[in-house]
Structure 1
Amino acid sequence: MLDEAIEVKNLRKNYGKFEAVKGIDLSLVPGKVNALLGPNGAGKTTTLKSILGLVQYSGEITILGEKISMARERISFVPEDKSFYDSLSPEKAIKMCSLLMGNFSADKAAKLMKEFDLPMNKKISAFSLGMKTSTYLAIAMAQDADIFIFDEPTWGLDPIRRDEVLEMIKNLSLNGKTVLYTSHIIPEVEKIADVFSIMYKGEILYTGELKGLGSRFSLFNLPPETAIDSKAFSAVVREGKATKVLTDDSEKIRELRKIDGSKEEVVDLESFFGTLVRGNKHVL
Structure 2
Amino acid sequence: MSKVLFTATGLKKYFGGVTAVDGVNLEIREGQVVGLIGPNGAGKTTCFNLITGLYTLDAGHFTFKSKPYNPASPNEVARLGIARTFQNIRLFNSMTALENVAVGMHTRTRQGVLGAVLRTPAQRREEARVLEQAQAWLDYVGIGAFADYLAGQLSYGDQRRLEIARALASEPGLLALDEPAAGMNATEKLKLRDLLLQIRSDGKSILLIEHDVKLVMGICDQVTVLDYGKVIAQGTAAQVQQSPAVIEAYLGGLHHG
State if a TM-score over 0.5 links the two structures.
yes
Q: Which amino acid in structure 1 is aligned with residue 134 of structure 2? A: A
Query: Residue 118 of structure 1 contacts residue 135 of structure 1 at CA under 8 Å; is this kept in 2?
Result: no
Aligned to 1:107: 135
Aligned to 1:135: 162
Inter-partner Cα distance in structure 2 for 1:71 and 1:135? 17
Aligned to 1:168: 195
> Aligned pair 1:76/2:83, yes or no?
yes
Percent identity over the alignment is 23
Query: Residue 129 of structure 1 contacts residue 155 of structure 1 at CA under 8 Å; is this kept in 2?
Result: no
Structure 1 window deviating more from structure 2 (171-180 vs 98-107): it is: 98-107
Larger Rg, first or second structure (1 or 2): 1
Inter-partner Cα distance in structure 1 for 2:141 and 2:10? 39
Aligned to 1:179: 206
SS in structure 1 of the partner of residue 29 of structure 2: coil
Equivalent positions of 1:15-34 (< 5 A) are 15-34=15-34
Inter-partner Cα distance in structure 2 for 1:19 and 1:83? 28
Query: Residue 183 of structure 1 contacts residue 189 of structure 1 at CA under 8 Å; is this kept in 2?
Result: yes
Equivalent positions of 1:82-161 (< 5 A) are 82-102=89-109, 105-112=133-140, 115=143, 118=146, 120-124=148-152, 129-161=156-188
The verdict on how the C-alpha distance between 1:95 and 1:4 changes in structure 2, with shifts beyond 3 A counting, is: closer
When normalised by structure 2's length, the TM-score is 0.73
Unpaired runs of 5+ in structure 2? 111-129
Inter-partner Cα distance in structure 2 for 1:7 and 1:170? 22
Query: Residue 85 of structure 2 contacts residue 176 of structure 2 at CA under 8 Å; is this kept in 1?
Result: yes
Q: Which amino acid in structure 2 is aligned with residue 148 of structure 1? A: L
Query: Residue 2 of structure 1 contacts residue 65 of structure 1 at CA under 8 Å; is this kept in 2?
Result: no
Which of residues 186, 189, 199 is equivalent to 2:226? 199
Query: Residue 36 of structure 1 contacts residue 181 of structure 1 at CA under 8 Å; is this kept in 2?
Result: yes
Q: Spell out structure 1 runs of 4+ moving beyond 6 A.
A: none
Aligned to 2:114: none
Query: Residue 64 of structure 1 contacts residue 71 of structure 1 at CA under 8 Å; is this kept in 2?
Result: no
SS in structure 2 of the partner of residue 28 of structure 1: strand
Higher relative contact order (CA 8 A, sep 6+): 2
Higher helix share goes to which structure? 2
Inter-partner Cα distance in structure 1 for 2:14 and 2:156? 29
> Aligned pair 1:43/2:43, yes or no?
yes
Inter-partner Cα distance in structure 1 for 2:77 and 2:178? 22
Offset, 1:188: 0.4
Q: Which amino acid in structure 1 is aligned with residue 247 of structure 2? A: G
Structure 1 window deviating more from structure 2 (47-56 vs 86-95): it is: 86-95
Aligned to 2:62: 61
Structure 1 window deviating more from structure 2 (74-83 vs 90-99): it is: 90-99
Inter-partner Cα distance in structure 2 for 1:167 and 1:186? 16
When normalised by structure 1's length, the TM-score is 0.67
Offset, 1:114: 6.0
Query: What's the CA shift string for 1:58-95, capped at 9, x where partnerless?
Result: 21111122215477342232222322534533233233
Query: What's the CA shift string for 1:17-49, capped at 9, x where partnerless?
Result: 332111211112332111111123221111111
The verdict on how the C-alpha distance between 1:107 and 1:34 changes in structure 2, with shifts beyond 3 A counting, is: same
Q: Which amino acid in structure 2 is aligned with residue 108 of structure 1? A: A
Inter-partner Cα distance in structure 1 for 2:190 and 2:93? 25
> Aligned pair 1:8/2:8, yes or no?
yes
Query: What's the CA shift string for 1:164-217, capped at 9, x where partnerless?
Result: 211221222223221111112111012101111111121111001125667xx5
Offset, 1:112: 4.6
Which of residues 236, 248, 254 is equivalent to 1:275? 248
**Matched residue pairs, number?**
225
Query: What's the CA shift string for 1:83-122, capped at 9, x where partnerless?
Result: 2534533233233334444497312233257627647342
Inter-partner Cα distance in structure 1 for 2:250 and 2:42? 11
Q: Which amino acid in structure 2 is aligned with residue 167 of structure 1? A: D
- State the Cα RMSD in Å: 3.1
